[in-house]
Amino acid sequence: MPHLNFDHAAALSSDVRADFDKAVEALVPIVVGWQEAPLPHFNLPAKTDDLPAMRALAEKMAAAFTRIVVLGTGGSSLGAQVLAQIHGWGTPSGQRSGPQLIFADNLDATSLGELLAPDAISTTGFLVVSKSGSTAETMMQLCCVLPALETAGCDAAHHIAGICGAGDVPLRRLADQYGLYLLDHEADIGGRFAVLSNVGLLPAQLAGCDVDLIRAGAANVMAELNSGDVAAHAAVHPAVQGAALQYAHMQAGRMVSVLMPYADRFDRLTFWFRQLWAESLGKSGGGSLPANALGPVDQHSQVQLYLDGPDDKLFTLITHPTRAEGPSVPASFGADPALAFMAKRTIGDLVDAEARATLHTLIEHERPVRHIEVVNTHEEVVGGLLMHFMLETIMTAALMGIDAFDQPAVEHGKLKAKQYMLDMAG
């Protein structure tokens, strides 16, 4: 597969081989069936008719504001964060271009209050994202933003745009009342699977990303699945084999799936995966716990557990070539014996060495580990990774016999929260 190389040899331990083979066999007819009735998610990589409206809105907002606050939670924010991070958002070096992006995805009284400070709100744009148009946290934020803009003498129609599903819902009613511009949310795609739609791509454009390349990377993954002899290709496709691995290890009692990339620009990918995996698979008393980590930093917080704790995890490490990359240590530091190994080496050299050390140490400790090696951290690669993990999740749900696209338990909690809010008035 272009730009992505999957090696799962060290994850195929003898205790899962039979279940793995059965799972692959079970998935092949499902993939073949998708040729006749593809899921709507599979059409997004080739879609182009939604791009002009996205680009126009992104250009308008970027020209008008020095910072843009994205109001949305869960899948309405995490995918966009993954894409924005391609160009440095959320890393120590910072966002490389465009207005400052702020994802207010966690509801917090202090944080939102400071974001709405009068001295900054006049140069702030707001992008409100909610498929339902009634997400409690997002609507609460919007209902605080509107009076804050009014107090500052700002026109809400100039400062706020959004993405929303169809119907007579609160967000659309407020948009009509205040003249807010809304793009349509994809009708058949839920938030956590919506990263390749305007939900992810509009903020990505604000961060300076080439969204055509993002979708091209996803299209490469789908093309590999759908080309030629589909049944033959499906049996060896990384998403099919990845889902079979995940399911087989769950059957063997490994109920934790660890995703650990060695790149700052893949950090938010792990948080996006965490929601995708947990909310899609955690149903009817079953599921697998997603654990996100980041290398090398989490070698100092989690690897002790990985190596010497319970054998209840399947590991996925993501690396990209870093040797000879970044600042280097002058030879003079080699005079200190404790620093000699660093002399004339780069930051990327140490990242490479530590990633390989973690991979090989996990293997030596007989921990199942899959290695995904990518060529870089750019748009096409990230688009491919996103498509891969969505496919892997959907296929794992199929093996478990559950619906990957609903979240019934979450809905129960939402109803209780609303009732508790109403009780406060009494």
Catalytic residue numbers read 279, 300, 414
* Per-state percent for the chain, helix, strand, coil, to nearest 5: 55, 15, 30
Q: Which value, to the nearest 10 degrees, does the dihedral of the CA atoms of residues 291, 296, 297, 303 take?
A: 50
Give the other-Cβ count within 10 Å of 186's Cβ.
22
Locate 312 and state its tokens.
Answer: 């209840």
Among residues 287, 314, 75, which one has the least CA distance to residue 197? 75
Among residues 15, 10, 18, which one has the least CA distance to residue 252? 15
Rounded to 5 degrees, φ, ψ at 167 are 115, 170
Quote the DSSP letter at residue 75: G
In DSSP notation, 98-140 reads: SSEEEE--S--HHHHHHHT-HHHHTTEEEEEEESSS--HHHHH
Q: Give the Cα separation of 368 and 8 in Å (integer).
A: 9
Q: How far is CA 280 from the centre of its chain?
A: 14
Q: Give the Cα separation of 392 and 30 in Å (integer).
A: 13
Among residues 128, 160, 147, which one has the least CA distance to residue 60? 160
